[in-house]
Structures are given as C-alpha cells and as structure tokens.
Amino acid sequence: MGRTPPHPEVSQFDLQQVLEALVDPVRRSIVTQLDAADEDVKCGGFDMAVSKSTATHHFKVLREAGLIRQYYVGTSRMNALRRAEMDEAFPGLLDALTTRQATGR
Amino acid sequence: MGRTPPHPEVSQFDLQQVLEALVDPVRRSIVTQLDAADEDVKCGGFDMAVSKSTATHHFKVLREAGLIRQYYVGTSRMNALRRAEMDEAFPGLLDALTTRQATGR
C-alpha cells in the first residue's frame, strides 16, 4: 500500500479547491468521463489530448481536491470518482456539472 | 438606455465562462450575497474588501458570464442575479454554490 498516494477526508474537502480543480476543462472532462463509466478507469483509459506528464498533473489536482480516488492494480493506476463523498460535502455540485445539458456546452 | 452595458442571452451562456467567473471567491461572494438579498443591490452595497476598480472588474466578469444583470437607477449601478436564466442553462449549479453548507466552507 506504500504506493497509494494521499487522499483528503471528506471533512477536509474545500469548495475553493474543488472549484479550482473543476474549472479546468480537461479535468472536468476526466470527471464527466468517470461519471459516465460503469467502472473505475486507468490513467491511460481517458479520452484526452494532453501529454502523459500533463495528465498526471491533472489527476493529482483532482485527487488532492477529493474528486477522485487513485489506487494501483498491478502496474496500472486506477481512478475512481468519489461521487458519494463529494455529494455529501457539496450536494448537487457534480450533478450540475455532469448533466447532459451542462456537458453539451 | 445607452448606459446599460451589454448582457449575453441565455443561449449564449457558456459553462466554462460561468465557472471561471465563479471560481473567484470575491465573485462567488457577490453571487451568494445577491442570492441572499431580497432585492437588487447597488455596486457599493456589497460586503467585500477590494478596491472600487477591482470590484468593477469583478462585476464585469459576472455580467459577461450572464450571472448578473446591471442597470442604472439615477447614478447608482444596480445588480440583479439572473437566477432563473442561470437555472435554465445549468440546472442546480447556483443551488450547489449558494447553499448554507457550501458557503460555510
């Protein structure tokens, strides 16, 4: 478990930090793709046109804000949306950003 | 009416622009203060610790994103939250950002 990066608890979630994570369109796309997926997604499994190092940075920002949980399966780093915890901290926020209407704009 | 600044129509609202407006804590505070007020508020009527020119910039960003409507009454520039139009474009977004729980963090 030594490779599992640190994650904030729900009580540590900060609206400002969450909004700064979600204002970036690439990071918001990661969240909407995770929300639409039926399962957790490995870092290489997202549709995004950025370099690997840029992607790693985006995942880190999302993880530190509490939006995603990262863990390893073998050599793959997996990503899970912390939907329930985010809904507990900021009810309706992810709903508003992942609806068809919102993502279509 | 020549002094009334331009405002976007609902069909022109853009989620990215709205989030860029709302990610700033001062601008988010203007929105939550307007949401809590029973009436429109003049530019000088907000609780915020920024210079007048900085405040003017923040109002402009909010107006151009479609979050507020500005109009004159005599020499006072008044601000109205475009709540219904924003709810139409991005259902739940302002609710999520103006709840007591969200604003308390």
- Over residues B6-31, the pLDDT tens digits come to 899 999 999 999 999 999 999 999 99
pLDDT the model gives residue B2: 58
With contact defined as beta carbons under 8 Å apart, do A43 and A56 qualify?
yes
For A92, nearest residue in chain B (alpha carbons): B96
Cβ atoms of residues B97 and B32 within 8 Å:
yes
The encoded tokens of residue A99 equal 């609806």
Q: Give the model's confidence band at A38: pLDDT under 50 very low, under 70 low, under 90 confident, else very high.
A: confident
Which tokens in the block code for residue A16? 């400002």
Computed on alpha carbons and rounded to an integer, the radius of gyration of chain A in Å comes to 13
Strand A41-42 versus strand A76-81 pairing type: antiparallel
**Strand duo B41-42 + B76-81: pairing:** antiparallel
Q: Which residues of A touch B13 (CB under 8 A)?
A: 105
Closest residue in B to A88 (Cα) is B101
Checking phi first, is residue A36 left (phi over 0); if not, alpha (psi -120 to 50) or beta? alpha
> In chain B, what are the helix, strand and coil shares in percent, each to the nearest 5?
55, 15, 30
Cβ contact, residue pair A19, B16, below 8 Å: no
pLDDT, position B5: 86
Q: Residue B55: what pLDDT?
A: 95
Min Cα distance A51 → chain B (Å) is 22
Alpha helices (H) along B37-92: 52-65, 83-89
Assess contact for A68 and A20: CB atoms under 8 A.
no
Conformation bin of residue A2: beta by default, left when phi > 0, alpha when psi is -120 to 50: alpha
Mean pLDDT of A39-51: 93
Q: State pLDDT tens for residues B80-99.
A: 999 999 999 999 999 999 87
Q: Which two tokens stand for residue A22?
A: 């979600």
Strands (E), chain A: 41-42, 68-73, 76-81
**Residue A105 scores a pLDDT above 50:** no
Average pLDDT score over residue span A4-28 = 96
Residue B25 Cα, gap to closest chain A Cα (Å): 7
Bridge partners of A73, per DSSP, are A76
A73 burial (CB, 10 Å; 0-12 / 13-18 / 19+) is exposed
* B22 closest CB neighbour out of A14, A19, A102: A19
Between B103 and B83, residue with greater pLDDT: B83
Q: Is the pLDDT of residue B38 over 90?
A: no
Name the interface residues of B facing A (CB cutoff 8 Å).
13-16, 19-20, 22-23, 25, 28, 89-93, 95-97, 99, 101-102, 105
Cα separation, B60 vs B54, in Å, equals: 10
- The Cα B50–Cα B61 span in angstroms is 15
